[in-house]
C-alpha cells in the first residue's frame, strides 16, 4: 500500500503532535462543560480518536455519516444522511470533528442542521483545510494543517475506500489513478 504514495504531506509525528496541541486547546475551551463531539464518518475516525485522547475534559461522543452526491474525488453539495446522531442536540455544545474541508458544502449542511436542532454552540475542528477549494463561507474554529488543492489520502481519507489506514497524509502516484 505505501508503495502507492508519491510523497508524504503530513507525517505521523506531525499529526500526533498536532492532536496533542488541539486537544489541550479544546480541553481549556470546554472546561466545566460537557460537549458533544460529533465525528463525521468515516474519514474523521482516526483524528477523532487521537484528538479526544488528548482532550482532558468530559466529552460525549457520537457519529454522523453523510454522503454527498458526486464522484469519489469531489462532493456535489447535495448531502444525504446515512447515519444520524443518537443524541439530542438541543442545548448542547457541539464539537464537529472533520477530516478535511474542501468546498465546505458538507459542513455548511451540518452546521445548518445543528442550528435547526437548536444546538447551544457549534465549533468545528478539522485536521486538514483546503482553502483554495472553498465555495461556501464555512470556516473551522481550529485547523490542523492547510493542504494544497490536491487529492490527499491517509489517516482516514480514502481513494475508493483504500488508504484510510495509512498513519500519515500523502499524495498518490498518478499511475494509481491512471490504472483505471
**Residues of this chain that bind Mg ion (CB under 5 A):** 43, 99
Residue 100 in contact with ligand XMP, rule: CB under 6 A: yes
Residue 99 in contact with ligand XMP, rule: CB under 6 A: yes
**In what helix (H) or strand (E) does residue 49 lie, and over which residues does it extend?**
helix 45-53
Query: Among residues 43 and 46, whose Cβ is nearest to Mg ion?
Result: 43
Q: Would you give the binding string for ligand XMP spanning residues 101-120, x where CB under 6 A is met?
A: xxxxxx--------------
- Coil, helix or strand at residue 27: helix
User: d(Cα 118, Cα 153) in Å, to the nearest integer?
Assistant: 34
State the binding partner of 145 from ligand XMP, Mg ion, none, CB within 5 to 8 A by kind: none
- Please confirm, yes or no, whether 50 is among the known catalytic residues: no
> Using alpha carbons only, what angle is made at residue 43 by residues 126 and 72, rounded to the nearest 5 degrees?
110
Q: Which residues neighbour 149 within 8 Å (Cβ) at sequence distance 6 or greater?
A: 130, 132, 133
Residues making contact with ligand XMP (CB under 6 A): 43, 68, 75, 99-106, 151-153, 157-158
Amino acid at each position: 500500500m505505501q508503495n502507492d504514495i508519491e510523497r508524504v504531506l503530513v507525517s505521523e509525528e506531525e499529526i500526533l503532535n498536532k492532536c496533542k496541541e488541539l486537544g489541550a486547546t479544546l480541553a481549556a475551551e470546554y472546561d466545566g462543560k460537557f460537549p458533544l463531539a460529533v465525528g463525521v464518518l468515516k474519514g474523521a475516525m482516526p483524528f477523532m480518536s487521537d484528538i479526544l485522547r488528548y482532550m482532558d475534559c468530559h466529552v460525549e461522543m457520537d457519529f454522523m455519516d453523510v454522503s454527498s452526491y458526486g464522484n469519489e474525488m469531489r462532493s456535489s453539495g447535495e448531502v444525504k444522511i446515512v447515519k444520524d446522531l443518537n443524541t439530542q442536540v438541543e442545548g448542547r455544545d457541539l464539537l464537529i470533528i472533520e477530516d478535511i474541508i474542501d468546498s465546505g458544502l458538507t459542513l455548511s449542511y451540518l452546521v445548518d442542521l445543528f442550528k435547526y436542532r437548536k444546538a447551544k454552540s457549534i465549533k468545528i475542528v478539522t485536521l486538514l483545510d483546503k482553502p483554495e477549494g472553498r465555495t461556501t463561507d464555512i470556516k473551522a474554529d481550529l485547523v490542523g494543517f492547510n493542504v494544497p488543492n490536491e487529492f490527499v489520502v491517509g489517516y482516514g481519507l480514502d481513494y475508493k475506500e483504500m488508504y484510510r489506514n495509512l498513519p500519515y497524509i500523502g499524495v498518490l502516484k498518478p499511475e494509481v489513478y491512471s490504472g483505471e
